[in-house]
Every structure is written in structure tokens, then in C-alpha cells.
Amino acid sequence: MKQLKDLTRRELYDLFPITLVPYKDNYKVQFESERHALYGLFHEDALFIEHIGSTAIPTILSKPIVDILLILDKKIDKKDITEKLTNQGYLLMNEKEKPFQLSFNKGYTIHGYSNHVFHLHVRYEGLDEVYFRDALLRNPNLAKTYEALKVELLKKHPKDRDQYTMDKTFFVSLITEIEKSR
């Protein structure tokens, strides 16, 4: 039987199409449970763990995936981070050296999504997603504008996560920069 790592990008897009669903109260519960597990894993090296992404915004549609930002102390290296997280069921999806960023997913199976799906964004610094999240929480009209953009992009790219995400970048970056300058 094929494993996720053996699937082509097209097969992955077919298995995990983009869907937008109404907010669910269990997103907070899922986040808090995973936050607790991450603190247990990294202890004092976990400087910051926040619920980010659309599932952190109760007023808008979102993909049913809980996004988490994990800021770690620089003394823990990439190998240790990856080892600890892969032992907890996370898959390393992407990495950048400058600035340091690791992206992990959890909850994807060869049969589709499991009950709890997470995207974990690991860094040593950088809170851009928190600025964006907080702007949407404070401004319901802005949140609805973002939701409308996501709905429109879903129509254009129902099975192309990369393009869907890229096409949101300008809006997200603009709002983030405005918030950071306040």
C-alpha cells in the first residue's frame, strides 16, 4: 500500500482538497490539547505557542485544520526539533534556513484527514501570523473580507493548496505590515 510520502502532488491534492467550513468550538479544545503536548515536549525551550490561522477566528469559514505557531529558544537545533516532533506523529513538510522556519503537519493519513489535523509553524522568532490573527479578531469587517477572498480563491483553486495560499499572500502581508507599524 502506498504511503503519503509516495503520493504525487496531484494525488495529495485529490486526497486533501481545500474545504472551508464554519467555525467549530472544538478548534480551541484541539489547540489547547496540542499546546499542552508541545509544552511537555519542549518545556522551557517553548517560548511562545499560539493558535493562528482561520480556525482561531470564530466569525469566519476556515479549512478544518488548526494552525499553531511555535517559537523556540535558539539553543535547540533543527535535528532535535524534528526528532521530537516526528516522534509525536508530525511530518516535516518544509524547511527554510534564513530565516529559520520548519513546517510540520499532523493528522493526514493515506485515507484522508484524521479527526484532528494540525499545521505547526516552528521558528526562533517572528510573530507575523499573530499580528494578522489579532487584526481579524478586532475587526469583523476585515475578517469577512478575508473570508470572501478565501471563498473566491477556493472556487479558482479547489485542489491546488499552493496556489490558493500564494494568492492570499498579498492580503495577509498587507494587513500584517499595517498591524506591525501600529
What mean pLDDT comes out for the span 29-36?
98
Position 171 scores a pLDDT of 98
Position 159 scores a pLDDT of 87
Of all residues in the chain, the percent with pLDDT exceeding 90 is 83
Position 49 scores a pLDDT of 98
In the predicted model, is pLDDT for residue 133 greater than 90? yes
What mean pLDDT comes out for the span 44-61?
97
Interval 59-102: pLDDT, tens:
999 999 999 999 999 999 999 999 999 999 999 999 999 889 99
In the predicted model, is pLDDT for residue 1 greater than 80? no
Q: What are the extents of the domains in the chain?
A: 4-180
- Measure the CA–CA gap between 29 and 16, rounded to whole angstroms: 23
- Measure the CA–CA gap between 151 and 18, rounded to whole angstroms: 10
In the predicted model, is pLDDT for residue 19 greater than 90? yes
Position 32 scores a pLDDT of 98
User: Cα angle vertex 122, ends 120, 31, to 5°?
Assistant: 35
What mean pLDDT comes out for the span 112-128?
95
16 or 121, higher pLDDT: 121
In the predicted model, is pLDDT for residue 182 greater than 90? no
Number of H helices, E strands in the chain: 6, 5
Confidence of residue 10 (pLDDT cuts 50, 70, 90): confident
In the predicted model, is pLDDT for residue 30 greater than 90? yes
Q: How far apart are the first and last CA of the chain?
A: 53
**pLDDT averaged over every residue in the chain:** 95
Indicate the length of the chain as a whole number: 182
pTM, 2 dp: 0.94
What is the enclosing helix (H) or strand (E) of 120? strand 112-123
Residue 114's contacts (CB-CB under 8 Å, 6 or more residues apart) are 107, 108
* Superfamily the domain 4-180 falls into: Beta Polymerase, domain 2 (3.30.460.10)
